[in-house]
Amino acid sequence: MKTRILGTSGLEVSAIGLGCMGLSHAYSHIPDKKESIALLQSAVEHGITFFDTAEVYGSGANEELLAEALAPYREKVVIATKFGIQLVDGKQVQTANPAHIRKSVEGSLQRLKTEYIDLYYQHRVDTNTPIEEVAGVMSDLIKAGKIRHWGMSEAGVKTIRRAHAIHPVTAVQSEYSLWWRRPEAELIPTLEELGIGFVPFSPLGKGFLTGTIHKETTFDKSDFRSIVPRFLPENLAANQSLIDLLNRIAAPKNVTRAQIALAWLLAQKSWIVPIPGTTKPHRLEENIGAANIELTADELDHIRVALSEITVKGDRYPEELEKRTNI
């Protein structure tokens, strides 16, 4: 597996990471513990060193799962987790006051059974707590050796700048893929200017860019996609033009649509590290294979022109959830 460095931080990780949320949270199929541990350990054996979790995933169960699976490899892997989202009466609430952060980091350290967290993200911006206070706590935690780097998730560029001025931000995590390209307008140029790495989540469009989801696809109520406007049947049908584009690039190279989608992300900047999630061993190997696919200048240009002529239909989040991003 090739490696990349997140911005100018010096934090080196595998070119493709593994988003672990789906092993405990958000989707209808949750594999059993034995299967999940086997998947995580297979990821390490195939060269993945970058694993992404959060305290809210499975109410801490996801962190505990990683602790057990990755214990034999702890010094070889980079574990990223997140604080700042709590479930209150079934709803997500952002909380990032200093006392809460200090309590959260201790909880994550305990569940992960580790003495330090490699990369600690603020999961969502808390508008009730100045970002300067959050950055100050991150600086303290780094000095104390509890975390080694800190990052932000779905934050707006003004907030990122304010945070970075207090203590350098190593990475920003946000959604980015062929069907969600808003980061190209402001976020990516800002990260490049500041020397901050970019970690796209949902790089395969929550599964859509694999080409296995169509207008007849239905989602269980326990599946997050059941409330996402972009997964309504009419929008799935309208967005098939993206799958057609991926087919045109993938077929001559004898690779998959998902691999082209990931290879396209990797081609955008050398400091971009996508974290596709999966519960299936064959999908894990497929995603890992994308790190070795080189898109030619002609192929990238073909994709660029085609994308300029495609209008993706449907919002990526329900309105209430979208309001919590880019703050």
Catalytic residue numbers read 57
Contact present, 28 and 216 (Cβ < 8 Å): no
Q: Tell me the three-class secondary structure of the chain, residue by residue.
A: CCEEECCCCCCEEECCCEECHHHCCCCCCCCCHHHHHHHHHHHHHCCCCEEECCCCHHHHHHHHHHHHHHHHHHHHCEEEEEECEEEECCEEEECCCHHHHHHHHHHHHHHHCCCCEEEEEECCCCCCCCHHHHHHHHHHHHHCCCEEEEEEECCCHHHHHHHHHHCCCCEEEEECECCECHHHCCHHHHHHHHCCEEEEECCCHHHHHHCCCCCCCCCCCCCHHHHCHHHCHHHHHHCHHHHHHHHHHHHHHCCCHHHHHHHHHHHHCCCECCCCECCCHHHHHHHHHHHHCCCCHHHHHHHHHHHHCCCCCCCCCCHHHHCCCCC
Query: 116 is written with which tokens?
Result: 């330090």
Say if residues 65 and 36 touch (Cβ distance below 8 Å): yes
> CA–CA separation, 174 vs 164, rounded Å?
17
Contact (Cβ atoms closer than 8 angstroms) between residue 131 and residue 159? yes
CB neighbours of residue 103 within 10 Å: 13
Dist. CA 246–CA 258, nearest whole Å: 8
